[in-house]
Amino acid sequence: MINVKEPGLMTTVQDNGRNGYYSFGMPPSGAMDKYSFIVANLLVGNDENAAVLEATYLGPTLEFDCETTIAVTGGEIPPKLNGEPFGLWKPVHVEKGDVLSFNFVKSGTRVYIAVAGGIDVPIKMGSRSTYTLCGIGGFEGRALQKGDLLKTGEASNPPASTEITLSEELIPKYGNRHEIRVIMGLCSYRLTEESKKKFFDIEWTVTPDANRVGYRFKGEPLEFVEREQPFGAGSDPSNVTDLGYPIGSIQIPAGIEPIALLNDAVTGGGYATIATIISIDLFKMGQIKSNDKVKFIEVSLDEAIEARKELNGKLDKVKETIKTVSIGG
């Protein structure tokens, strides 16, 4: 059992996500930064898809009632065990009664806390991920609260050696300025040529209205091509006949502030979508904070698929390191 002494700002149970129900209007949810999420699981000997805790900005305080192994990855929210700082991206042995807590966020936004065996909550529609908007999955469908008691499952493999050090290239660094790759398309024909160009020229600022549903950006207004609105679309030039929104798609209601939809997205609606963040950079979005600056970079589909392969290559290296160290040790 894990006793939640302090919940942090927004700490939820997440796994790889609830895939296959998008046509019901059910977003996938799941860990936002999948790379950090998978590495955390690998370090404690879990399946890649085991449920972990995702904490945003402010880490929780957790007390463990039995001996186990944990790993903290993701944004630099420095973890402490019984007040003693320890490193992220490493498995750490905890004893019964040990207390995990965190210092203030230094960089990035979200930490992932994996526990050997995974967080054991009921599987809802194929996933343990929390979708707070409708109260589905996770721990009682909500973010953690003080006094919650979390169960853990059985680990599938022994944890990695606590001696392990992942090489620099395998540990992401998070700054305050980001480049996010997108594929232009969907309803981008609705933007004027000038505004399409502007969309890529502007350095956008992430507003405080940035959560698991989506991030809203401030910059300059963009303009849509004037037209007589088609039947069913609604009257604003940014309106289209209600359609599906891909995860990562970017819309600009009334041309004012772009919104990028993320893991807990609304699955459809009546705003023109103009571009989609590539799947690998959705992981990066999970580490972007309010007030950070974002520039969107246009890439091709093949570049996006290449980026997936690169990331898989990185994960293979993590697995390799874990294997080598455990054999060597």
Stretch that binds other proteins, among 110-118, 158-166, 273-281, 320-328 (CB under 8 A): 273-281
Distances (CA, A) of 13 to 25, 29, 51, 64, 114: 21, 10, 6, 16, 10
Q: Does 267 bind other proteins (CB under 8 A)?
A: yes
Q: Where are the beta strands (DSSP E) in 227-288?
A: 239-244, 249-251, 259-261, 268-271, 273-277
Q: Does 58 bind other proteins (CB under 8 A)?
A: yes
Least distance from other proteins to the Cβ atom of residue 9, Å? 6
Q: Does 278 bind other proteins (CB under 8 A)?
A: yes
Q: Does 61 bind other proteins (CB under 8 A)?
A: no
Helix and strand totals (H; E) in the chain: 4, 21
What is the x/- site pattern for other proteins, positions 63-102, by CB under 8 A? ----------------------------------------
Nearer to other proteins, 97 or 232 (CB): 232
Stretch that binds other proteins, among 78-86, 149-157, 206-214, 313-321 (CB under 8 A): 206-214
**Under a CB-based contact definition with an 8 Å cutoff, are residues 315 and 35 in contact?**
yes
Report 229-248 residues binding other proteins (CB under 8 A). Answer: 230-236, 239-244, 246-248
Nearer to other proteins, 290 or 326 (CB): 290
Q: Does 211 bind other proteins (CB under 8 A)?
A: yes
Q: Does 133 bind other proteins (CB under 8 A)?
A: yes
Q: Does 276 bind other proteins (CB under 8 A)?
A: yes
What is the x/- site pattern for other proteins, positions 2-41, by CB under 8 A? -------xx--------xxxxxxxx---------------
How far apart CA 55 and CA 42 sit, in angstroms, is: 19
Nearer to other proteins, 118 or 248 (CB): 248
How far apart CA 188 and CA 165 sit, in angstroms, is: 45
Of the candidate residues 93, 96, 106, 295, the single one contacting other proteins (CB under 8 A): 106
Q: Residue 157 has what DSSP assignment?
A: S
Number of residues that bind other proteins (CB under 8 A): 68
How far apart CA 291 and CA 284 sit, in angstroms, is: 15
Distances (CA, A) of 44 to 150, 203, 296: 17, 39, 35
**Under a CB-based contact definition with an 8 Å cutoff, are residues 158 and 45 in contact?**
yes
Residue 186 has which token pair? 């969907």
C-beta neighbour count of 230 within 10 angstroms: 10
Nearer to other proteins, 36 or 249 (CB): 249
Long-range contacts of 76-80 (CB under 8 A, 24+ apart): 76/105, 76/106, 76/107, 76/108, 76/174, 77/102, 77/103, 77/104, 77/105, 77/106, 77/108, 77/111, 78/102, 78/103, 78/106, 79/103, 79/111
Q: Does 304 bind other proteins (CB under 8 A)?
A: yes
Give which of 117, 120, 13, 124 is closest to 60, Cα–Cα.
13
Nearer to other proteins, 72 or 322 (CB): 72
Binding interface with other proteins (CB under 8 A)? 9-10, 19-26, 56-58, 104-106, 125, 133-136, 141, 182-183, 185-187, 208-211, 230-236, 239-244, 246-249, 253-254, 266-270, 273, 276-279, 289-291, 301, 304-305, 308-309
